[in-house]
Amino acid sequence: MDQEDAILFITKVLRSKNQEYAGYGYELYIPKVIHAYFRAIGREVEWGSDEMLDASPVFLNAAWELCRRGIIRPGIRRMNTQATDEGNAGFGYTVTAFGQAWLDEPEHDTFVPTEPERFARLLQPLRQRFGSGFDQRSQEAIRCYGAHAYVACCAMCGAAAESIFLAAAIAKSGDPDATLRRYLSPNGRSRLETALVGQVHEQVRREFQALTTLMKYWRDASSHGQATSISDNEAYTSIALLLRFAMFANDHWDALTRSGA
């Protein structure tokens, strides 16, 4: 059990709208959620048992993350309803108006690792290869998605993909300064892409271009000052493409960066 597992379970509980998890004036009472979690995994534990106490920090961290994202808030639902010392100490929550709208949306969040912790773990082995710029921008992308800032998410996915592209181009040339100057020159990116994938196997070149085309479009569309129709679908797909592109570049790193290729 980690924080994202707890977030996903709490989200499932909230979407069920089952009053079993409410109580004492709160729409979400964490001890009830923890007890239900153990039942869901086939374990019967006593209320207030050591197992529940040991699981509570993870669920409390998950609840705070959902608060940070604006989905729930601490406290009772309305004035003059019952409260408890334990609830007021951090175990009782209520769904916000934004949170209710978020919960009513399709359950995209359960298919791609869109929590910073798990996303970071997935990309951990690639940080050193692609650099701190990639790490920063990819984490910003996932945080923007969590906040439903979809335009910003696409912009950061495109920027993270550019970091991968630049890391590969620099590794191939062996000259960071010259590569950056070329990149910033007129048509510099196109010329660098030709140098990077122009001589690789056709299948590798096609996949490289397919993975970057949509992200370049969304990055450009999101970076301009005009209104855009980018929504959760584009942002979600952009994250998935970023993950796929990172894995692809890592798997074909030798072919992409081989001198003379």
Q: What mean pLDDT do residues 72-94 have?
A: 77
Would you tell me how many other CB atoms lie within 10 Å of the CB of residue 123? 22
Same domain as 121, residue 81: no
At residue 223 the predicted structure's pLDDT band, cuts being 50, 70 and 90, is low
- Domain extent, residue 39, equals 3-104
- The per-residue pLDDT for 116 is 58
- Top-confidence residue, 146 or 197: 197
By percentage, how much of the chain surpasses pLDDT 90?
22
Same domain as 144, residue 97: no
Same domain as 180, residue 215: yes
- The per-residue pLDDT for 110 is 47
- The per-residue pLDDT for 60 is 92
Q: What is the CATH number of the domain that holds 236?
A: 1.20.120.330
Same domain as 187, residue 73: no
State the chain's mean pLDDT as an integer: 83
Task: Kindly report, residue by residue over 108-135, the tens digit of the pLDDT.
Answer: 444 455 555 667 677 777 888 999 889 8
User: 50, 80, 104: which is the final residue of a domain?
Assistant: 104
At residue 8 the predicted structure's pLDDT band, cuts being 50, 70 and 90, is confident
Between CA 71 and CA 75 the distance in angstroms is: 13
Between CA 134 and CA 137 the distance in angstroms is: 5
Same domain as 116, residue 99: no
- Does the structure show a pLDDT above 60 at 206? yes
- The per-residue pLDDT for 221 is 64
Between CA 143 and CA 145 the distance in angstroms is: 5
Could you give the number of structural domains in the chain? Answer: 2
Same domain as 123, residue 214: yes
Same domain as 242, residue 118: yes
- Does the structure show a pLDDT above 70 at 177? yes
Specify which residues 10 forms β-bridges with: none
Same domain as 166, residue 145: yes
- Top-confidence residue, 54 or 112: 54
Strand 92-95 and strand 72-74: pairing? antiparallel
Same domain as 132, residue 98: no
Check: CB of residue 28 under 8 Å from CB of residue 22.
Answer: yes
The three-state secondary structure class of 205 is helix
Tell me, yes or no, if the pTM score tops 0.85: no
- Does the structure show a pLDDT above 60 at 176? yes
Specify which residues 72 forms β-bridges with: 95
User: 104, 123, 148: which is the final residue of a domain?
Assistant: 104
Same domain as 124, residue 253: yes
